[in-house]
């Protein structure tokens, strides 16, 4: 299974894997591969940046996620969302809370 991986400027350390089951035969025309994502979810992500193309069959393991879980999601829904580790999410939430508190007095 081939996939493309994207990151988003608004979401540090979150990556979205998009299934490319017909690769390389699907490259004849330009497509919006992220169009498979639910609209509300995609809108909240902001601007995307292509990270890499990956052949999961040739990749023995993935760094932060279970390869079998990624494959299952790609096959069932066409995409997989890799969330940041919990400690990064907690730190980001704390920073947002501090910013909101500071903005109260502006």
Please state whether the predicted TM-score (pTM) of the whole model is above 0.85.
no
Question: What is the per-residue pLDDT for 74?
Answer: 95
pLDDT in tens, 15-54: 999 999 888 888 777 788 888 999 988 888 888 999 999 9
Does residue 1 have a pLDDT over 80? yes
**Which stretches within 2-106 are classed as H helix?**
39-45, 67-77, 86-104
CATH of the domain at 24: 3.10.510.20
The answer for 79, left when phi > 0, alpha when psi is -120 to 50, beta otherwise, is beta
79 lies in which domain range? 2-104
Q: What is the mean pLDDT of residues 5-22?
A: 88
Q: Which residue has the higher pLDDT, 12 or 18?
A: 18
Number of domains in the chain: 1
């Amino acid at each position: 299974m081939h996939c493309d991986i994207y990151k988003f400027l608004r979401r540090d350390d979150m990556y979205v894997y998009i299934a490319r089951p017909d690769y390389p035969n699907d490259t004849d025309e330009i497509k919006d591969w992220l169009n498979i994502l639910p609209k509300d979810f995609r809108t909240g992500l902001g601007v995307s940046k292509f990270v890499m193309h990956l052949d999961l069959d040739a990749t023995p393991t993935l760094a932060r996620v279970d390869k079998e879980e990624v494959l299952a999601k790609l096959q069932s829904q066409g995409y997989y969302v890799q969330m940041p580790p919990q400690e990064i999410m907690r730190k980001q939430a704390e920073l947002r809370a501090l910013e909101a508190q500071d903005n109260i007095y502006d």
